[in-house]
Amino acid sequence: MDPIAELRSPLLGAVPGLRHGFVADARRAPGGLLRPRQVHGARVLPVEALAGDPQEADGALTRPGAPAVAVVTADCVPLLVADPAGRVAAAVHAGWRGLAAGIVERAVDAVRAVAGPGGLVAAVGPAAGPCCYETTEEIAERLDPGGRHRRRSRPGHALLDLAGVASDRLAARDIEVDRIGGCTICDTRWPSYRREGDRAGRLLAYVGFAARRAGEDAG
């Protein structure tokens, strides 16, 4: 298979002025991105908090005129949320701990605080898939109480669809979701901590707004 350089979401691609992508090798990401120090938590910070020595967070918010923001993953779920009117966008790192801690809901609240009550759009990128991602039944039950996104594997364990859990949580908040890319564990074009351990590279998901040239109509 040819390597994937970058995937983009048609849904986010339709937002005026927005630029975004899921880059297979974080070292090849565009320059000028700001990233939080990721800790598998539920904190979401504005882009201003990421300059210099970045603070700990797993979600980052940006707006037109500010630098783009990014998160890195290797099996966890990378997701991007945007206001379709192009006023604000967020990049989120959502592993099982972050999902359990409510990172998706916190990020949506932070975006809505700027965008207002209208609909939002989101893209959920490549992550450990239900074909390969085994966890304990306890964690699977906690993240997916309805049982829609898991099936039993061996005793005490389940195969869980983390991206499915994240997508459902976005959809439950009235957000249109684009799910793109497959499983990072079995699709070797993506970095995977489960498959490669400490040697794994990082996938980078970024979102920001194109610089507006002087005299250009805001549209």
Site residues, Zn ion (CB under 5 A): 129, 131-132, 183, 185-186
User: Least distance (Å) from Zn ion to the CB of residue 164?
Assistant: 13
User: Least distance (Å) from Zn ion to the CB of residue 165?
Assistant: 16
Asked if 98 contacts 163 with a C-beta cutoff of 8 angstroms, the reply is no
> Which of 129/208 has CB closer to Zn ion?
129
> Which of 41/129 has CB closer to Zn ion?
129
Structure-derived torsion over alpha carbons of residues 126, 127, 129, 135, reported in degrees to the nearest 10 = 180
Asked if 167 contacts 92 with a C-beta cutoff of 8 angstroms, the reply is no
Q: DSSP character for 54? A: P
Alpha-carbon dihedral sign for residues 23, 77, 126, 47: negative
User: Least distance (Å) from Zn ion to the CB of residue 8?
Assistant: 22
> Which of 69/124 has CB closer to Zn ion?
124
User: Least distance (Å) from Zn ion to the CB of residue 143?
Assistant: 18
Asked if 50 contacts 35 with a C-beta cutoff of 8 angstroms, the reply is yes
Alpha helices in 50-136 (DSSP H): 96-101, 103-115
Q: DSSP character for 180? A: -
- The neighbouring-strand residues paired with 170 are none
User: Least distance (Å) from Zn ion to the CB of residue 72?
Assistant: 20
Query: Between 162-172 and 103-115, two packed helices, what is the crossing angle to 10 degrees?
Result: 40
> Which of 134/137 has CB closer to Zn ion?
134
Asked if 20 contacts 12 with a C-beta cutoff of 8 angstroms, the reply is yes
> Which of 66/132 has CB closer to Zn ion?
132
